Amino acid sequence: MLRIEDTDEVRSTQSSVEAIFNGLKWLGLDWDEGPLSASDPAAAKGAHGPYFQMQRLTHYKRAADELVAAGKAFLCFATPEEVEKQKERNQLLKRPPKFVSPYRDQTPAQREALLKEGKPFTVRFKTPQEGWVHFEDIIRGPMKWENNLIEDFVMVKTSGVPTYNFACVVDDHLMDITHVIRGDDHLSNTPRQVLCDEALGWKPPVFAHLSMILGSDGQRLSKRHGATAVEEYRDAGYLPEATRNYLALLGWSTEDSQDLFTQDELVQKFTVERCGKSPAIFDPNKLIWMNGEYIRKMPVRELVERAMPFIQKAGFMNGQEESRRGEIEAAVALEHEKVKLLTDVPRLIDFFFKSNVEYDPVSVEKVLKKPDVSEVLKGAIETYASLQDFTALSTEEGAKALALRRGIKNAAVFHPVRVSVSGRTQGPSLFHMLEVLGRDRSLERMKSTLDKLNAGAL
């Protein structure tokens, strides 16, 4: 079930809600019940709506009124400053920093008098002062908290909007939630929620608290470790299936430590019981490795389709992406093994399609500025112009024959030809690259490079 918990008036924004929808949809995580879009809260599937908490305020008010009437909750007229002052005093006295409200046991008449004055209030839960609260955690086993250490927490804020701890209890019950699986940073919230359930006569859901994700330095994951919004991973060129696979392995594993899963395998093999108690370590290098594994298993045609938004954004195709799709696929096929992120694709193939060669200065100095390179290029141009077929095999044989005639090593021909047509010393197999470029473009680039060398323009 997808429920939008938007009762935090500061943090809940339209953009944050849209990020939830976009992230889940991109990851391929569909929901059985919930809203259908961020922009239309009324559009939903399922029988337990509405699914935005701010549209469910009447449910929370009814439950809060019930607890107040039963003496299990009370109106607290303390100001935020009074609450903070008492907590600070408790800390100075080495006491638990919890707030004890002077309004906990006020009479109905005292309460009515303050209400008539128009004094603002919150609704606080009246936590039992003795005993323990117990619950079973699927991952962590039996858990218990001493009631006396839990303060009378706020259920409903002065604005009339419920707090997280109260709203989710009401919703979990009314929406027939059976399991709540969340991070262990919520572990301290669970006793409060169980107390609310018990006070309302409801059976709490089953809880499972997952270990937190830490950076490689053992600190809580943050942006400096690479933690970003899901959409940023999409924009960085990660595949949704690889990202989903990697996320599943943070704090969970199979008995045989399998790394790569199809979605069907994850559905079949995942069990909450095998989630660990120890914090998981987010390793960006492993995520990139996994993404590369998925890409290498992908047919070239599909890889080009997935990478097309990044190719279009790079701009070197000048709107010819569709008409030259075959050339793009041929170029990508040469670099398939090197691609780890979809954003790698335009960087690896752009030189095939740019009208002018962009020379890497280091490659120019290392290769093109060597003695006799002009004569080598001149010989390569003559050799390639005379070939009957312009294939990877024929261009390689021609280059080796030229080296033999000139009494030089093969590399003394190969390297100048590579840099003259691509501007780089690195790249795909030279002769397959020439075949994809074709005779005309290859000769045009070699001639242009030769002219620049002779004119001292490089």
Which of these, 394, 392, 363, 398, lies nearest to 380 by C-alpha position? 398
Whether a cis peptide bond, with omega within 30° of 0, leads into 162 is no
Integer CA distances (angstroms), 255 to 10, 12, 283, in order? 43, 40, 21
123 three-class SS: strand
- Reply yes or no on whether 447 is catalytic: no
Beta carbons within 8 Å of 100's beta carbon, 6+ residues apart: 86, 151, 152
The one-letter code for the residue type at 296 is R
Q: What are residue 137's DSSP bridge partners? A: 141, 207
Which of these, 179, 231, 229, lies nearest to 25 by C-alpha position? 231
Q: What are residue 75's DSSP bridge partners? A: 123
Integer CA distances (angstroms), 66 to 13, 61, 101, in order? 31, 8, 20
Tokens representing 295 are 């890409």
H-state helical runs in 70-126 = 80-92, 108-116
Polymer length of the chain: 458
Q: Which of 116, 203, 223, 297 is catalytic?
A: 223
Long-range contacts of 390-399 (CB under 8 A, 24+ apart): 390/434, 390/435, 390/438, 390/439, 390/442, 391/435, 392/429, 392/431, 392/432, 392/434, 392/435, 393/431, 395/431, 395/434, 395/435, 396/430, 396/431, 399/431
Catalogue the active-site residues: 223
